[in-house]
Amino acid sequence: MTGSAQPTLAGVDDHFPIGDPSAPVVEADDLVTWLRTPRGPARAVDGISLRIAAGQTLGVVGESGSGKTMLSRSVMGLLPRRIVERLDGTVRYRGVEVPRHDETALRRLWGREMAMVFQNPLTSLNPVVPIGRQISESLAHHYDMGRDERREHALELLRSVGLPEAEHRLGSFPHELSGGMRQRVVIAIALACGPGLLIADEPTTALDVTVQRQILDLLDQQRRERSMAMMLITHDLAVVAGRADEVAVVYAGQVVERAPAAELFASPRHPYTRALLDSIPSPVQPSHARLDAIAGRPPDLVAPPDGCRFAPRCAYVTDACRVAVPELVEAQGSVAGVGGRPTREVRCIHPVASSEGLS
Amino acid sequence: MPEPVMPGYGAIDDGGDVDVAPDPGAMTPTRRLGGALGLGFWLSVGWLVAIATAAVFADALPFVGDPDSPIRDVARKSGPSLEYPFGVDSNKFDVFARSIYGARVSLMVGFATILVGFVVGGGLGLLAGYFRGRLETGLVAGADAMLAFPQLVAALAIVAFLGASVVNLILALSLLAVPALFRVTRAATLAMAERDFVTAARMVGATHRRILWREILPNVVPPMLSFGLLAVAIVIVGEGALAFLGLSVSAPTPSWGALIERGRDSLGDAAHISLGPAFMMFLTLVALNHVGDRLSRRFDIREAAM
């Protein structure tokens, strides 16, 4: 990988973070996004709060259909208005409230302050536009840059994301690049305006396993160098391990557990987190050992189960679980974090006991 | 519990780049254009270019005779000869010359109609496919209604009512082209608007207009174009049908349809009067269909490779 130095943001001198630089880059409170379906509202995001400081990575983990992607879209304000039934909660970017209903105002934030890396680099690049132009597109939107300046900047970006022979690639079309290289281009596009928040929505899912690590390392490196806040969305705990500072486990549109990454892996408090960790095959297991899969299917977001939403699949379920709705409360082992916010929270009335009982 | 590690991860050297991509330039589409499209494609393009050039520059071409004055030294309805390849008609007019001039009206009407279809139908299709909602519902209903109506009858009525001029002809035949191109464009736009790159473009702050113009339009033009070429052929036939019914541009301006009609009475004894222009029309339609077909197949392949 080339280009370890931060590219000089030639012509981007007028870029300064909006809002209060000491505030968390992104802070979402009680986000609610319900989608309209023929059967009634689907609670894709049902009361999620999160906070990411500059230079930090929040891992958002959950299975398909748990509302991860809708969460990222809700934070961005990028929602399909036609099917949104209910939209609540606030998002603040560096202390400034994001105008989630005003697309014109949002457009000024998108790309420049918040950017996104999509799951599938095959569909997130325009097949008929050369990649150089796709990268400089956002520069043209947000900055008064000349054509040569934009080209120069695009070239620097391509080098910084480790694309070999960057000069020759500016005029290439997406189909001329491999999957990993395309994803590098997608990342370059996201980074073009030096955003404060980068949301990576399953950035490696569509990639070859051998390339996955490179892309994750690249994202990590860019986050460090630019001290961005990053939201890393994935269904794969292994992706988050060692990269996220904090992990939020999402289940049925709600956060069921939030903890510093190391602690989450060492001592999960929520039975769902624990079940997820148990379902990862381990190299020390004897061969042909039975994989601990989680029984059942993710709940129906239109009609979630009464009581705890994980109760129907939980190994430790009690009668109380099917009645009482658990709140997200401070978990065992939590300490007061920034601003008195507990470092660990769990949504379970019978949290898994302390780490002693676990392997 | 050990930190989960993805199998195979540890082995990769961070410094190396294992991405392999083809040499840039090795796959540029232009380089394999000729071979992939085949000889028939280029023959068709050649014919279309030739007939269009001949039609436009007919006055200056030495081998195209005067279409509007009878030839003295031949018999009426005399058959093809070296000098007059399509023979002469009952008024001793040179059928070949008239067929070349006839291409003017036929081709002009064909392409102008599709141009109207592109601008009106394509524009509305783009808007409907991108913005969806009530606008789309209304437009789709309108297009369906237009397609459900017997269009040749509608075109006939319009020309009969407004009078036969080139402009009215284009207008009437646009009834055919607009809803058809609307549907094709809307379908292509729908497929494109769902792609992540449209979201990605919004994500960097692009306006709707810019997304439509720069992101979606370049992607829907290829299918529109290949369909458009097929549609030109349909419109030329439509014009021919109107002309055959005597409802196209009035004489002396010939069009292929009108020329074929001129020979109708003599089909028994001098079929060449109708067959000459019919042959030219036939070749043109085959060429248009073939080119459109080739192009659409080619774009499909590219689509699949993405």
A26-35: strand order across its sheet: A42-52, A26-35, A84-93, A96-97
Mean pLDDT per 10-residue run, chain B (306 residues)?
A: 42 40 46 65 93 89 79 78 82 87 90 94 94 91 90 86 88 90 92 86 84 90 87 90 81 81 84 89 93 79 46
Q: What is the pLDDT of residue A3?
A: 38
The average pLDDT across A239-257 equals 92
Distance between CA atoms of residues A353 and B40, nearest Å: 76
Q: What is the pLDDT of residue B36?
A: 67
Q: Do B27 and A126 touch (CB under 8 A)?
A: no
Nearest Cβ partner of B12 from A128, A213, A359?
Answer: A213
Alpha helices in chain A (DSSP H): 68-76, 103-109, 131-142, 147-160, 166-169, 179-191, 209-226, 237-240, 261-266, 271-278
Q: What is the pLDDT of residue B251?
A: 62
Q: Do A111 and B203 touch (CB under 8 A)?
A: yes
Q: What is the pLDDT of residue A346?
A: 92
Task: Report if pTM > 0.80.
Answer: no
| Dihedral, A48, A52, A57, A60 alpha carbons, nearest 10 | 0
Is A249:A61 a contact under the CB 8 Å cutoff?
Answer: yes
- Taking CA–CA distances from A186, the nearest residue in chain B reads B200
The average pLDDT across A88-108 equals 87
Show which residues on chain B lie within 8 Å of chain A, measured between beta carbons.
1-9, 12, 14-15, 17-22, 24-25, 27, 132-133, 195-197, 199-207, 214-215, 218-219, 302, 305-306
Q: What is the pLDDT of residue B15?
A: 38
- Structure tokens belonging to residue A207: 């990639």
A288-339, pLDDT tens digit by residue? Answer: 777 778 888 888 889 888 889 999 998 888 888 898 889 898 888 778 777 7
Q: Do B203 and A110 touch (CB under 8 A)?
A: yes
- Mind giving me the DSSP string for B187-208? HHHHHHHTSHHHHHHHHTT--H
A113-165, pLDDT tens digit by residue? Answer: 899 998 888 888 988 889 998 888 888 888 878 888 889 989 999 998 988 88
Q: Do A118 and B199 touch (CB under 8 A)?
A: yes
Per residue, the 3-state secondary structure of A183-209, as one string, reads: HHHHHHHHHCCCCCEEEEECCCCCCCH
Helix (H, G, I), strand (E, B) or coil at A142: helix
Q: What is the pLDDT of residue A6?
A: 39
Distance between CA atoms of residues B150 and B173, nearest Å: 12
- Taking CA–CA distances from B10, the nearest residue in chain A reads A213
Q: CB distance from A193 to chain B under 8 Å?
A: yes
Q: What is the pLDDT of residue A17?
A: 52
The predicted complex's ipTM stands at 0.72
Q: Do B8 and A209 touch (CB under 8 A)?
A: yes
What stretches of chain B adopt beta strand conformation (E)? none
Nearest Cβ partner of B204 from A111, A165, A265?
Answer: A111
Nearest Cβ partner of B196 from A76, A124, A214?
Answer: A124
Q: Which of B19, B134, B189, B212 to substitute to test the interface with A, most A CBs within 10 Å?
A: B19
- Taking CA–CA distances from A139, the nearest residue in chain B reads B204
A48-64, pLDDT tens digit by residue? Answer: 999 999 999 999 999 88
Q: What is the pLDDT of residue B23?
A: 47
Evaluate if residue A87 carries a pLDDT over 50: yes
Is the peptide bond between B2 and the residue preceding it cis, with omega within 30 degrees of 0? no
A180-190, pLDDT tens digit by residue? Answer: 899 999 999 99
Q: Do A1 and B17 touch (CB under 8 A)?
A: yes
Q: Which of residues 120-179 of A touch B (CB under 8 A)?
A: 120, 122-129, 137-138, 141-142, 162, 164-165, 168-169, 171-172, 174-178
